Amino acid sequence: MSKTSEKRQEILSEMDLLLSDHGFKRKNRSFDWHKTLNEEITQSINMGISLYPHAQEISINPNVSVRYESIEQALVEAGIVDASYLGERATFDQGINNITRKTYWITADDTVVELTRAVYEDILKYGFPSLEKLSDIAQVIKMLSSSDVQDWDDCSASYRARLLPLALAVSGKRVEALALLPALTKELKGKDQMIPNYQHFTTWFSQKYDNSSEE
């Protein structure tokens, strides 16, 4: 095993100890720690460890995310997500370094303690509040309803135009979601970067939810 690979394993082992205190568990040979809140919501923390053997360096790009099972199922039904990814994808995520504007890295000759502690402290300070916000569907709707792109966290305009109606729908606000589609279509005109296109999504969404009464 190379020195960088050894350091990666040390980082994973150290983070196992730190994150297990908060109820997060890592699958074998993965860089992801998961915590299931209920049947609908799963929180995740990803280390995004990259190795640079030639330079003998290791970097970490930590990310927190939340998966909503009902929204993920709807994305599969809409043809946006392949069914094979069910149970694995994140619905909403937030890169920690997009908040902190920090880089997290060490050389293969450094100890991992200082790096893992720095990452862990920023997960506590920035990642856990983001997880709390993204795990509250009302907060997610408020976030995606904002006209300020900066409020969407790491969500693109194309993804937001699909997730906002779905978030409203799974919250029982189907009428509001349907009424929002024309405005989202107008905002996204000429800028959609997803397949199937947005017209396909709005047609599917209308057919699925138009006959449902608001709860």
**pLDDT tens per residue, range 146-188:** 999 989 988 999 999 999 999 999 999 999 999 999 999 999 9
Query: What would the DSSP string read from start to end of 108-163?
Result: TTS-SHHHHHHHHHHIIIIIHHHHHHHT-HHHHHHHHH-S-GGGGTT--HHHHHHH
Is pLDDT of 212 > 60?
A: no
Is pLDDT of 214 > 50?
A: no
Q: In the block, which residue shows the tokens 């994305």?
A: 75
pLDDT score for 213: 44
Is pLDDT of 129 > 90?
A: yes
How far is 144 from 156, CA to CA, in rounded Å? 10
Confidence of residue 28 (pLDDT cuts 50, 70, 90): confident
CB burial string 148-180: b at 16+ within 10 A, e below: eeeebbebeebbbbbbbbbbbbbbebbeebbeb
Cβ atoms of 90 and 65 within 8 Å: the answer is yes
For 33-92, how does the pLDDT look when each residue is reduced to its tens digit (9 = 90+)? 999 999 999 999 999 999 999 999 999 999 999 999 999 999 999 999 999 988 889 999
| Predicted model pTM | 0.92
How far is 80 from 140, CA to CA, in rounded Å? 20
Overall average pLDDT of the 108-135 stretch: 95
Q: How many CB atoms lie within 10 A of CB 22?
A: 14
Backbone angles phi, psi at 107, to 5 degrees: -95, 165
Confidence of residue 211 (pLDDT cuts 50, 70, 90): confident
Q: How many CB atoms lie within 10 A of CB 70?
A: 17
Is pLDDT of 215 > 80?
A: no
pLDDT score for 29: 84
pLDDT score for 123: 98
pLDDT score for 153: 82
Q: Which two tokens stand for residue 12?
A: 């994973």
Cα–Cα distances in angstroms (integers) from residue 210 to residues 65, 117, 163, 165, 167, in the given order: 30, 50, 17, 12, 15
